[in-house]
Amino acid sequence: MTTYLSDLASLVHGQLHGNGEIPITDASTIRDAELGHITFLNDEKYSQDLATSSASAVLAPPNIELNNLPGDLPIITVENVSKSFATIVEHFRPQRHASVNGISAAARVSASAKIGKHVTIYPNAIIGDDVEIGEQSIIHPGACIMAGTRIGANVEIFPNVVIYENTIIGDRCTIHANAVLGAYGFGYDTREGRHIRSAQLGYVVLEADVEIGACTVIDRGTFGATSIGEGTKIDNLVQIAHNVRLGKHNIICAQVGIAGSCSSGQYVVMAGQVGIKDHVHLGNQVKLGAKTGVRHDVPDNVKMFGIPGTPEREQMVRHAAVGKLPEMRKQFKKLQKQVADLEAKLNFREDAA
């Protein structure tokens, strides 16, 4: 499909600078752009990359410094570059929409399930007894929703997700492929040398607008809920143990592990591979750097790094000191020698005196 640059300017209601009659065949990032592609520039610091790119046109904000751009490169300026570029990408590569309408005959839906209006259920999905699914929700192939689970409206559950019994999922949640909600908590009592599984009577609650990454696991509570607050986003391969309570609008990056009964306030951010000991509470706006290992409660607004987790400033000082330690060891040995010499000299004089 060929489109003229002036057509794209109209599509995104942008201002065209330069030749609008160039044919454009695709939209790519600067890294990927080939001849005939339009690309985008959000930040002047990448304008050098643009100079060496094969792109035939660029989308940019109105206030960008144009001096560094290749002289004759046509520009479309728009206020929201990311959004407009997405519109152009979708023009060239339209998103696919559900080919299934309603409930596939090849899905297995319990007679006691209550399914809302305009719900899509794909082949091979399994909907257990007494499950409720709200309007407009989409259940992809192979997803297994076990008995008693209640799913809100406009929820999307991707293929092969497994949701155990009695889970509660709020409106507009998204759950990616192969995630698992409600597996048994990892709690055992050891009696006569054998590990006996603790009670597994609880469930998982996702409030509204929660997103769960692929292959992420959230265990059920022992007696009550493991819960994720409204608007919290969780990346792939994250472990959330039994009885955890995450607050609203947290950001939890990939491969984080949160042990049993932890809790968090609002707007907490955990970078990748963080680990948190059981029963720890993280205050509002706490930020944890990648791979941080947290063993104690963290007050509001504190930024932590390292293993064990240490406030940012302290950790930087400590890390710098360790970096200089080998040099300090050398100087220390020199100093020991100096002091020994001084002592010898002084003793010699005393002996001489």
Q: Which is nearer to a copy of itself, 17 or 220 (CB)?
A: 220
Q: How far apart are CA 298 and CA 280, in angstroms?
A: 8
Least distance CB 238 / a copy of itself (angstroms): 8
Residue from 284, 288, 299, 295 nearest 253 by CA: 288
**Active-site residue, selected from the candidate residues 91, 140, 242, 281:** 242
Q: Which is nearer to a copy of itself, 19 or 281 (CB)?
A: 281
Least distance CB 58 / a copy of itself (angstroms): 14
Residues 6+ apart with CB under 8 A from 162: 143, 144, 146, 179, 180, 181
Q: Which is nearer to a copy of itself, 223 or 299 (CB)?
A: 223
Least distance CB 348 / a copy of itself (angstroms): 11
Q: Which two tokens stand for residue 126?
A: 């399994």
Q: Which is nearer to a copy of itself, 97 or 117 (CB)?
A: 97
Least distance CB 69 / a copy of itself (angstroms): 20
Q: How far apart are CA 300 and CA 217, in angstroms?
A: 27
Q: Which two tokens stand for residue 51?
A: 């100079």
Least distance CB 134 / a copy of itself (angstroms): 20
Q: Are 30 and 50 in contact (CB under 8 A)?
A: yes
Least distance CB 206 / a copy of itself (angstroms): 15
Token pair 């794909």 is found at 122
Q: How far apart are CA 278 and CA 261, in angstroms?
A: 6
Q: Which is nearer to a copy of itself, 67 or 169 (CB)?
A: 169
Q: Which is nearer to a copy of itself, 19 or 302 (CB)?
A: 302
Token pair 């990311």 is found at 82
Polymer length of the chain? 353
Whether 281 is a known active-site residue: answer no
Least distance CB 353 / a copy of itself (angstroms): 9
Q: Which is nearer to a copy of itself, 136 or 174 (CB)?
A: 174
A 10 A CB-CB count for 317 gives 11
Q: What residues are labeled active site?
A: 242
